[in-house]
Structure 1
């Protein structure tokens, strides 16, 4: 098993190597921005899918919606660059809210971010598989299986370490960026020469009457909320600042600027091409796939573009594999999640967080059958809720400091806070019946779970805290009553008795028999080898071992009145694993029932067999 683990994730790394496991800007862009950059593959389609409710006559409005989203992207980017400099330890909105708002607010932000990261994996993988099946429809029946295999592949790659995985993921990310920019350039050249032959505002001006009604406005806002999926992953860099090479804050800030510029350019370009070519969402072919086919035809370049798109959509999930473990480690250090999530594994990554994310994402993919459009309605709520909380915390922080540069900065961040808050409300209202209600329920449930975990750790700390004065007042430990369950007289039992004599003089061996005549033979042999040790024999007419054994131990427990009782379990250890199947496992069951008792110590005395 160990050799398989080494083969999959590599040899362990020393702790001192952690400072070398830092990312340069060009690798960090691939790791932390792949989610945001990949969203251009489906964000425009999400806008058009909502606008279809009013007919293709309103598809031209995808352009002003895209421009509004770009303005929001700029404001959020400026806000989060401030968070990067103010909180270089990472953690994003959770840490901002923890330090400057309240514990509950920070936990809401943490829960929202966790859900966001989980959905990022599910949506990205599902979208990648959708791109693959658009080019190769024969793979449709296996889309869920392909998605699960890809999650496992990403999990293994990330368990190998952040530097190694970043090298693997960097090249497909840059290949996608180049491919999309080429697509936009070539497509733009075609539109320039062929003319705009898609959706036109002048030709469909009558469509504006739809927006005179409340329903039309509602659909427009819902389309805007769906398009905001292009901004998912923008916060990832602020969560992973410690992963950057020094000066980490400066490098993270620069990387975030690059990411936002590329994201805005690609998203607007794709939306313009979709409108210019008159692309309509289809059941079995994505919008970006149709644009690629229109620009490249059925040439090899189209299929290469589809493969690159699939790769980036799959690798976009890596943003979560970088951000989720980092986030849960911070929350775990605050004792709101299991402490095991804060521990680094063999390869200096938060292995338990990576595995937890993988398992939850696979469950989600199976539940929603790998359908991207079923998952995206759950997506934007957590993203924009965390945006709003993070910026609110920054406004409060800067307001307290009130230094010379705070006025402009506060105004910028406050604008972002208000806009993202409105987007959160719009998203919840517009997508409530589509699945946003599930996120609105999940976040409070997660917060309750956080508090339950913290309460457990607090109670545990109180009970385990060592008080010097109390410890000095304690009386000398009482010699325990030792009980040894036996099935006969053997070397295993003899070894257990030898150990028992070293800790106590009050020793009793107990044996459960099914036939009364067995007692005489057992006692004769016992008197021959261990005459100084008391033997208790209990007849079990119904051939059960556990019940009479537990009854006897309970009776002894009452008689000792709180004095310690030690149960020594003689156990021989077989040489080959399958030999275990040839022997009963009564000791395991007995240990399971006794472990819950307060004043009983359970110990196993192993006897190793040679064959």
Structure 2
């Protein structure tokens, strides 16, 4: 197992190598923007899916709706840029909400993002798998298996360290961006040179029967799903090379610029080409086919799109562990998420994310498309809370230029809230789970923090009563027979307290009790033996009752009761299933139910 781990993950790194695991802006742009950039593949299509319910004439509304999405993107980029400098240690929406709005809003933001990153992995990998199996229909029945293999592959890459995963995964992301730039550039060139007929689309401003503000807001909310992943950089600031905040801010602006250009280009081409959404063919696929025909470039764009959808999962792997670290430091989730693995990454967070994503993929049989609204609303809740938290911060602190910052955050908060509200109003059947899992997350986090606080209070020397002095030891040794394992334990007990040792035997039959006592008196005459006949064939019940009796008497003289449990260890691990593991059950029961010291003395078998 150790060799396999080294092969898959690599050799352990020293803590001093942590600086080498920081990433440059170029690599960070690729691994932290993959989720946001991949949404270009389905964001414009979501707008058309709503407008087509009115008529094809309504497609011209995709242009002003797309402009609205870009305005929201601008507000979010400017806001998260401010968050990066205000909270340079990462945490994003969680830290902003907690420090400015309170613990519960912080937990809502943090919990939403944790769930959202799990959904990011499950939805992205499933979408990418669908794209592959659509090209190769014979693989369709293996969707779940293929998706799980992709999750395991990305997990192993991330366990190897941030720099290695960034180096490998950066190329496909930039190839996708390059492919879409070619698509948009060639498409616009053909429009400018008159190779695309203006008759394919209706002019902007054409009256549309049946259109309403509600429909437009619904289309806007659906198109805003293209903005998922924008917050990832603010969560992952510690992964950047120094100066981390400056590099993170530049990367965020670069991501926003790329996303704006690609999104605007796809929306414009879809409008000008008169593209209508189809179940079996994506909007990007239709644009590529009309631009290039079914040639090498078409398949190149389709291939890179499928790849970016899968690699969008890596945004979750980059942001989830660091967000989990912030929550764990505040005692809201288990402390294990703060531990770095052999390769200096937060491996517990990476593994937990992978396991939960695989469970989702299996539970939904790889068909996670109806989780997209839940995935989107899970982002806009933190968006709204983060913007509102920054508004409170500027009003409270009033730094230089705070009015401009307040306007930016107020605009972002208002639009984010409208989008979130539209998701609840129009897709309630798909997002109502939020109303269940968020209160559950808050309740669980509260109980975890309550536990950690209680443990800290009880362990803290300054607040705890000093323990009673220990005058001596009463040692109890449960014995099942006369063996080397028992002899080894008795020798250890004699080295601690030669005059206060009690061997305890629990026979099920009276005849066995008499025979054992005779053998014991010949073998260990200087060690007191207590036989506890058990007609109901239970070892633990009579043993614990006896220990309680001894403990009460020992407590009167400030004596500590120590139970020494003999245990033989087979040479091979699988041999353990051939034995009844009584020592394990006794130890577990005593540790959790009795105030005694439990010591296991192992005796290793050689064959």
Which of the numbers 195, 198, 203 marks the counterpart of 1:196?
Answer: 198
**Aligned match of 1:423 in 419, 433, 447?**
419
Residue number in structure 1 paired with 2:489: 496
How do residues 295-374 of structure 1 correspond to structure 2 at under 5 angstroms?
295-374=291-370
1:418 deviation in Å? Answer: 1.8
Structure 2: where are the runs of 5+ without partners? none
**d(CA) in 2 for partners of 1:479 and 1:95?**
51
Deviates more, 1:84-93 or 1:50-59: 50-59
Aligned to 1:485: 478
TM-score when scaled to structure 2?
Answer: 0.94
* Partner residue in 2 for 1:223: 219
Q: Does 1:457 align with 2:461?
A: no
Cα 1:209/1:349, change in 2 over 3 Å:
same
Question: For the structure 1 residues 556 and 285, does the alpha-carbon distance in structure 2 shift closer, same or farther, using more than 3 Å as the test?
Answer: farther
- Higher deviation after alignment, 345-354 or 512-521: 512-521
* 1:198-245 C-alpha deviation (Å, 9 max, x unpaired): 44257x946x2212xxxx433332221111111011111111122212
1:579 matched residue in structure 2: 575
| 1:381 and 2:374 are equivalent in the alignment | no
Query: Are the equivalent residues in 2 in contact too, given 1:479–1:503 (CA < 8 A)?
Result: no
Q: d(CA) in 2 for partners of 1:600 and 1:521? A: 30
Query: Quick check: 1:109–1:389 contact (8 Å CA) kept in 2?
Result: yes
Aligned residue in 1 for 2:97: 97
Aligned equivalents of 1:266, 1:533: Cα separation in 2:
83
Q: Please list every run of at least 4 consecutive aligned residues from structure 1 whose deviation after the TM superposition is greater than 6 angstroms.
A: none
Distance (Å, rounded) in 2 between the aligned partners of 1:53 and 1:19: 53
SS at match of 2:530: strand
| Aligned Cα root-mean-square deviation (Å) | 2.1
Q: For residue 2 of structure 2, what is the aligned residue in structure 1? A: 2
Instruction: Find the aligned partners of 2:239 and 2:577 in 1 and give their Cα distance.
Output: 48
Classify 1:469/1:456 alpha carbon distance in 2 versus 1 (closer, same or farther; 3 Å): closer
* 2:434 aligned residue: 439
Q: Distance in 1 between matches of 2:579 and 2:42?
A: 58
1:164-195 per-residue CA deviation (whole Å, 9 max, x = no partner) reads: 11101111110000001111122233444121
Give the one of 514, 518, 524 matched to 1:524: 518
Aligned-pair CA distance for 1:98: 2.5
Whole-Å Cα distance in 1 between the matches of residues 237 and 190 of structure 2?
A: 41
Distance 2:156 2:203 in 1: 49
DSSP-derived class of the 1:53 partner? coil
What is the distance in 2 between the residues matched to 1:565 and 1:218? 73
CA contact (8 A) 1:398 1:406 kept: yes
Is the partner of 1:483 in helix, strand or coil? strand
Classify the secondary structure of the residue corresponding to 2:504: strand
Alignment of 1:214-253 (within 5 A): 216-253=212-249
Aligned partners of 1:184, 1:496: CA distance in 2, in Å?
Answer: 78
CA contact (8 A) 2:457 2:464 kept: no
State whether residues 570 and 607 of structure 1, in contact with CA within 8 Å, keep that contact through their aligned partners in structure 2.
yes
Normalising by structure 1, report the TM-score: 0.93
How far apart, in 1, do the equivalents of 2:53 and 2:221 lie? 15
Paired with 1:18 and 1:469, the residues of 2 have a C-alpha distance of: 38
- What's the counterpart of residue 466 of structure 1? 461
Could you tell me whether the CA contact under 8 Å between 1:546 and 1:586 is conserved in 2? no
Query: What CA distance in whole angstroms lies between the structure 2 residues aligned with 1:198 and 1:454?
Result: 60
In 2, Cα distance between equivalents of 1:232 and 1:141: 29
Work out the CA distance in 2 between the residues paired with 1:16 and 1:265.
Answer: 41
1:411 aligns to what? 407
Q: 1:555 Cα shift?
A: 4.7
Q: CA deviation at 1:378?
A: 0.2
